[in-house]
Structure 1
């Protein structure tokens, strides 16, 4: 399996940490437009194809246990995982945190920003789903607050998301960030009246820094501009989802 098929985050993670991001290039059961390795259960793909892909994910990513999938709602809820084995019904939340070795946290995205967290000593991990709504609402701050470690001891990695050269938004989205934080205007570039390009990565770094997390890596993989590897809702509309995964080795 090449790095194009299964991405390994590049960050100064502790030795006992494992992480991976899936791509649509993995050998899967999904048919167009979800081809081939869609892991999203609520985007219109056949349920049996998603189930087959999720089962195969355990082998392809060498997971110690099935992932703890979430029912993501673009909010700020953080679920604390207390067991290696996932529950039958996904919890409604947009982030998860755990200190249980072998428990696999998973975030599904197709333009929204997945953020993985780990403590520098390898005692705790977290994962968050941060589209613009979640970023504005404070999902990253909520995730950091839910971790039992001090923010200065936390590492973060920004996964594949809609990149700053391609993610166009309207004035109402810009205002959500700039009205309470005028300095956030540096994260937007005007392209025509009422329309802006937004840098989700820069917004995430601002939010993380405000929460005390400054050791941040990643933020260089654009889902919109790479149709071979990544699903993109903004580019394609009806499409699949990738998973960003993190766990502690036992």
Structure 2
């Protein structure tokens, strides 16, 4: 059994906040996979269902963000599970909007919801981090996370939530790198760079351009193979002289 806890704050006044992207994600998963109606339990709302043949409990803590651990910890203890059986979905200031990372363990990075869960479970649970971007200054953080997503954000946000829900079976199976690659393909049309796949904490996906369709990205190698734009190397002039010196060509 897997518990998937999406973090946010309860109440209609917070429903569209950037801080509530965790709630939005588990709502999307529940819709996509035909989960039960939401019910009150474990100081939160729960929905039950199966993904890929595995039993999954979706949880939205109603304790407010800063004490999310009370709800998540109660559910974990009730089912006698371990931290490895928990995935927490949350907003991430340190990732640009549209980027996704997933990892096991690590610090809370100042996120009060994670800090509370750490106190109840320890750190050895998986975190699905959904980028919302940083406003630039510490003073602007609270208005940013407690502010609603703008209309211009809706195209990339909707695509992201749909992709996360659609590919979530891979998370249930523990195939995190494959999940991130599929989400990237679904939202940007290009595969996850191999360097990102091998990086600590999981792969990152490129942000979808706000207000427009997902870009159909291609590597320079793929463009060259497909007859795309070629870079012409100069044969004369200052640039040519510099290249000759750099590569030792006379």
The two structures have a TM-score, normalised by structure 2, of: 0.31
Q: TM-score, normalised by structure 1?
A: 0.31
Q: Which has the higher strand share?
A: 1
Specify the structure having the higher radius of gyration (Cα): 2
Relative contact order: is structure 1 or structure 2 higher (C-alpha 8 Å, sep ≥ 6)?
A: 1
